[in-house]
Amino acid sequence: MSKKVIIIGGGIIGLCSAYYLQKEGHEVLIIDQSNMNAGASYVNAGYISPSHFISLAAPGIISKGIKWMFDSASPFYVKPRLDLEFLKWAVAFKKSATKIKVEKSISVLKDINLFSRDLYEDLQHSRIFNFHYERKGLLMCYQSDKVGEEEWKVGKRGIEEGLGVKHLSKKEVNLLQPKANLNIKGAVYYDCDAHMTPNNFMKDMVSYLKENGVIFHKNESVKDLQVSNGTIKKVITDKRELLCDDVVLSAGSWSPLITKKLGIKIPLQAGKGYRINVERETNITIPAILCEAKVAVTPMDGFTRFAGTMEIAGINHNINHKRVDAIADAAKRYYNNLEITSKEKDNAQCGLRPCTPDGLPYIGKSSKCNNLTIATGHAMMGWSLGPATGMLVSEIIFNKKTSLNTEAFNPDRCFY
């Protein structure tokens, strides 16, 4: 039976949810508070990353975070603040950052990333879209033996999970990418990863959805939800009231502001990331993460993107120029003779990534509301997990057996 589904949030998760819902014959409407041309879905590294099977809440990150807390240019920065929701999230994050919990999440993250990669490739082969997509793998480039050993330890765990992983010397990396002129000791190479140009895909998907009857309400904020007997009847915005059968919440870092209206608490913090685009030849042809600096490098359609940092500092889009400089400095250290200009740094942008305490997204229904499907909290894997999340959302709303077990993504899971 066809339903009227309202999606709150028009980022990658919202668009992919709309795609699979409209394919099932549902009437879909998307509400977004922005003009849908900026934010995390547009400034990310464009990675489809089965290699990222270790969650953000990993052992050792707390001690590193405390050390980095005093350095606003560090790769992972947590701004200390007296905010109750942040403090609760921090406690839950600490409890999640254990070896046992991370180990349990490895296969979960790997499986949903592989599933999503397959769905991206299905979209590419459908000939409906014309977006940039390449599967060239990912290089985890390191400059010190200690970091190289740490990365290879993770790589060997990836091999145990069935992924294609190799430990490459500097010479072997140079054979793969002879003109990049990398200043490294070696790299761990994952052949399972792919990359895209986010703006291309977002533009393609919006056009497709409009052509297939999906309605968009841009620059419109959700002010309230009218609920009766645990069911959302109306979504009330600053411009109109909309009847609905089901609601999908994919509002990223703003999602808790909506769930609070329903008495649902989902621990979530905004993690700001930055990007610099270099629109000239860099001779970089394979995506890489510059390990010590935690900077992602992606050869996109017509430019190279340098992205990085995780700044937990609340919801804001203020540009911290020290962090932009840190990304540019890393590019220069790892790629000989690559100088990012002042103009390129001045054009840097940021986006807010919604981070859960355990590094796993929220995908599913809360027991407190029977027609709300929550789809948020993907942190740095939002782009990678877009199609998988969209497919799961459609299956959940249509009461189908889901393609993957979603128990680990339960929005009601307990962190305390």
Q: Where are the domains of the chain?
A: 4-41+201-263+359-409, 47-98+131-191+268-355
**What is residue 70's predicted lDDT score, i.e. its pLDDT?**
60
Tokens 């997990």, residue located: 385
**What is residue 263's predicted lDDT score, i.e. its pLDDT?**
93
Report the predicted TM-score, pTM, of the whole model to 2 decimal places. 0.96
**Rounded to whole angstroms, how far apart are CA atoms 72 and 189?**
30
* 312: β partners: 78, 271
Q: Write the CATH number of the domain with boundaries 4-41+201-263+359-409.
A: 3.50.50.60
Token digits of residue 52: 């990222």
Contact 304, 297 (CB under 8 A): yes
Residue by residue, pLDDT tens for the chain (416 residues) are 789 999 999 999 999 999 999 999 999 999 999 999 999 999 999 999 999 999 987 777 665 665 665 666 677 777 777 889 999 998 999 899 899 999 999 999 999 999 999 999 999 999 899 999 999 999 999 999 999 999 999 999 999 999 999 999 999 999 999 999 999 999 999 999 999 999 999 999 999 999 999 999 999 999 999 999 999 999 999 999 999 999 999 999 999 999 999 999 999 999 999 999 999 999 999 999 999 999 999 999 999 999 998 888 899 999 999 999 999 999 999 999 899 999 999 999 999 999 999 999 999 999 999 999 999 999 999 999 999 999 999 999 999 999 999 999 999 998 87
Structure letter (DSSP) for residue 367: T
**What is residue 119's predicted lDDT score, i.e. its pLDDT?**
98
Print burial letters for 277-300: b (CB count within 10 Å at least 16), e (below 16): bbeeebebebbbbbbbbbbbbbbb
**What is residue 22's predicted lDDT score, i.e. its pLDDT?**
97
pLDDT tens-digit series, residues 201-255: 999 999 999 999 999 999 999 999 999 999 999 999 999 999 999 999 999 999 9
Measure CA 61 to chain center: 19
**What is residue 245's predicted lDDT score, i.e. its pLDDT?**
97
Spell out the residues 6+ positions from residue 286 whose beta carbon is closer than 8 angstroms to its own. Answer: 136, 137, 138, 139, 176, 177, 180, 299
Amino acid at 127: R
**Rounded to whole angstroms, how far apart are CA atoms 310 and 73?**
10
Distances (CA, A) of 9 to 59, 222, 239, 388: 32, 10, 16, 17
Token digits of residue 129: 């879209």
Superfamily of domain covering 47-98+131-191+268-355: D-Amino Acid Oxidase, subunit A, domain 2 (3.30.9.10)
Contact 249, 373 (CB under 8 A): yes
Task: Tell me the pairing of strands 304-312 and 269-278.
Answer: antiparallel
